[in-house]
């Protein structure tokens, strides 16, 4: 009963921008266009489901290129599948827009489907509604029964590892606002790369895993809390990128790495007995993997730098 | 990097309002609190997935009781599972709010979980974000392999049937704005009842099915289009409720039934050879089921009243 004069009716919008031929062998029995999608999970697998919402002005600045928004709404969800060690299968997209503009939708769809193709995930349905600019995506993936890597498996003595270069994304976000600085950093914010291959490869190696979305320090706290442990860290082992160091200097770089958020890197723990296995695995990765600390029995996170306690300003993202 | 002073942090909010003990025997291996949920589908079943978003001021009036919003965001999704003939299993909720207020959340959760319990669906995860007031839900259900009731199976000669009383919901919505009139009609808008038992029971009986969300006439058009058929209807067979007739009179009642929307009733077709089966089935239902027309080969929808062509003003909901 709301908008009487459609700019673009829903069926046309979906047909033009979101309905794509279904790739073979993805288990999709019925895709976009009915009341719901019907899919088939391979035998011996469990289903993994994650949902994340992003809104303009909250999760990305207004004026962010629509291609990057299309990429982002899927990437943040794929990152959750990566953090379980799951393989992506199907995505549903609820897209909300104040009005349907062709140029915006074309770019959004280009960003969404470029990543979907790369990740091997198929869009099976969703909803398009008039409302505030934002997108909520639900992804479904699979893993062999009993192989999910949860947050609760870390044990005292396990090494704590992180992929990539935390802090780059938040620096990129700040640079975007100033319309200058390192293109590499801006791209790190605009096009986060879900660590799907790495996450899946860590099944049987990592004892616990999660992705970094709110900020390394806060997310480490959640990982340790779920595992009922604490941890010791060396702030000088933080894998700060050359671009980040060049852009903001070492002190701000450490702060950004610890509390910036939006990294979508993997944070995981590995028992001492599996370190050789981890080394063999990561030797083939282009992505750096860095040990930043050790799990201990006592609760709490303790950061040290040059042998002394290290304090930093907490800029962590708050959901509310 | 957005809101610095949380009214209520995300973990507390989820723990207080949304984390509930997992019911046994629902296939949930890992629920709320990790990066993603892990679930197990029973053997011999396919997975059914639907996603629908609702926003304040678009899909429900601002000021709608939060209990009704919690009910609604789940109900509109369960209605999609009903329309496939699927049995609900798991739900994910992405809740967006300008700020987290305890009283609002308590009521919202009460509405959500009351329906979830009645429908046998388990909340397995989601997201809570600061943003415009709205909720996006994804539901997952199951059905025996190959038994999905799609929109495309209607054939010439099939009868066209509808459950309940279309038009009541839109009348209820209009009455809400005036804060008066029939409570029954207002409840029909505020608390739509997904027709889950009826949808599941129609497997093997209905040749095609969908739910009415945008409006009976428009949704009939989609059903016939998907089945590459047309249809003839009798407007005097429309199942108008006594409350609706008393509130607005017969002419407005017909208009509301045809183009009001928000009904969440089932619309389905049944081949002549299965009418006896349908009669046996529906004899036990409290819900009325009415034949309103017949599928024909020629495309287009033709409404007749007292033997003459029947025209009505189209008030159908537009997504954009």
DSSP-derived letter for residue B23 is P
- Beta strand pairing call for B87-97 and B28-30: unpaired
Backbone region of residue A79 per phi and psi (left: phi > 0; alpha: psi in -120 to 50; beta: other values): alpha
Are residues A320 and B55, on separate chains, in Cβ contact within 8 Å?
A: no
| Amino acid A318: pLDDT | 58
Number of neighbouring beta carbons within 10 Å of residue B312: 17
Helices (H), chain B: 10-13, 66-84, 102-119, 168-178, 183-190, 196-201, 216-226, 242-259, 275-282
**Which band of pLDDT confidence, cut at 50, 70 and 90, is reported for residue B316?**
low
| Residue B123, min C-alpha distance to chain A (Å) | 11
> Using a CB-CB distance cutoff of 8 angstroms, which residues of chain B are in contact with residue A87?
none
**Which band of pLDDT confidence, cut at 50, 70 and 90, is reported for residue B10?**
confident
d(CA B63, CA A192): 38
**Chosen from B9, B17, B43, B49 to mutate, greatest number of chain A CBs within 10 A:** B49
Quote ipTM for the complex. 0.91
Q: Is the pTM of this model over 0.80?
A: yes
Asked which of B80, B110, B144 is the last residue of a domain, the reply is: B144
d(CA A121, CA A115): 9
Q: Are B295 and A75 in contact (CB under 8 A)?
A: no
| Tens-place pLDDT, residues B101-112 | 999 999 999 999
Same domain, yes or no, for B74 and B208? no
- What angle, 0 to 180 degrees and rounded to 10, lies between the N-to-C axes of helices B183-190 and B66-84? 70
Same domain, yes or no, for B211 and B305? yes
| Residue B308, min C-alpha distance to chain A (Å) | 28
| Amino acid B181: pLDDT | 81
> Using a CB-CB distance cutoff of 8 angstroms, which residues of chain B are in contact with residue A51?
92-94, 125-127, 136, 138
CB contacts < 8 A, A to B, total 261
Same domain, yes or no, for A114 and A216? no
Assigned domain for A67 exists: yes
Same domain, yes or no, for B171 and B305? yes
Assigned domain for A316 exists: no
Instruction: Report how many domains make up chain A.
Output: 2
> Using a CB-CB distance cutoff of 8 angstroms, which residues of chain B are in contact with residue A8?
320
Assigned domain for B18 exists: no
d(CA A91, CA A138): 6
Number of neighbouring beta carbons within 10 Å of residue A43: 7
What's the whole-number mean pLDDT along residues A310-315? 75
- Both structure tokens of A243: 């671009």
| Amino acid A38: pLDDT | 96
Same domain, yes or no, for A268 and A243? yes
| Amino acid A26: pLDDT | 86
d(CA A33, CA B76): 16
Spell out the residues 6+ positions from residue A308 whose beta carbon is closer than 8 angstroms to its own.
none
> Using a CB-CB distance cutoff of 8 angstroms, which residues of chain B are in contact with residue A47?
38-41, 47, 140
Average pLDDT, chain A: 92
> Using a CB-CB distance cutoff of 8 angstroms, which residues of chain B are in contact with residue A145?
40
Q: Are A298 and A231 in contact (CB under 8 A)?
A: no
| Amino acid A3: pLDDT | 37
Q: How many CA atoms lie within 13 A of A163 on its CB side?
A: 29
Average pLDDT, chain B: 92
Percentage of residues in chain B having pLDDT higher than 70: 95
| Residue A286, min C-alpha distance to chain B (Å) | 24
Are residues B8 and A320, on separate chains, in Cβ contact within 8 Å?
A: yes
What's phi and psi for B311, nearest 5 deg? Answer: -110, 150
Q: Which domain holds residue A260?
A: 159-309
Assigned domain for A3 exists: no
| Amino acid A6: pLDDT | 44
């Amino acid at each position: 009963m709301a908008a009487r004069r459609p700019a673009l009716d829903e069926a046309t919008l979906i047909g033009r921008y979101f309905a794509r031929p279904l790739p073979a062998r993805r288990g999709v029995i019925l895709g976009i266009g009915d009341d719901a999608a019907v899919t088939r999970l391979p035998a011996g697998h469990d289903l993994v489901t994650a949902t994340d919402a992003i809104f303009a002005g909250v999760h990305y600045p207004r004026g962010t290129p629509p291609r990057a928004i299309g990429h982002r709404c899927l990437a943040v969800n794929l990152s959750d599948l990566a953090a379980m060690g799951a393989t992506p299968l199907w995505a549903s997209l609820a897209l909300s827009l104040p009005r349907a503009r062709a140029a915006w939708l074309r770019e959004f769809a280009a960003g969404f489907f470029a990543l979907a193709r790369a990740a091997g995930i198929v869009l099976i349905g969703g909803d398009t509604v008039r409302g505030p600019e934002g997108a909520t995506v639900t992804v479904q993936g699979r893993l062999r029964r009993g192989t999910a890597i949860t947050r609760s498996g870390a044990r005292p003595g396990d090494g704590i590892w992180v992929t990539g270069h935390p802090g780059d994304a938040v620096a990129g976000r700040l640079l975007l606002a100033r319309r200058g600085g390192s293109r590499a950093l801006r791209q790190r914010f605009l096009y986060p790369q879900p660590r799907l291959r790495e996450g899946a490869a860590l099944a049987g190696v990592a004892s616990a895993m999660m992705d970094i979305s709110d900020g390394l320090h806060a997310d480490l706290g959640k990982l340790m809390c779920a595992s009922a442990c604490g941890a010791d860290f060396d702030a000088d082992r933080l894998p700060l990128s050359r671009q980040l160091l060049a852009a903001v200097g070492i002190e701000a770089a450490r702060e950004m790495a610890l509390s910036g958020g939006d990294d979508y890197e993997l944070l995981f723990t590995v028992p001492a007995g599996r370190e050789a296995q981890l080394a063999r695995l990561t030797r083939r990765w282009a992505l750096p993997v860095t040990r930043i600390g050790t799990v201990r029995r006592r609760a709490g996170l303790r950061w040290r730098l040059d042998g002394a306690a290290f304090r930093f300003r907490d800029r962590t993202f708050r959901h509310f």
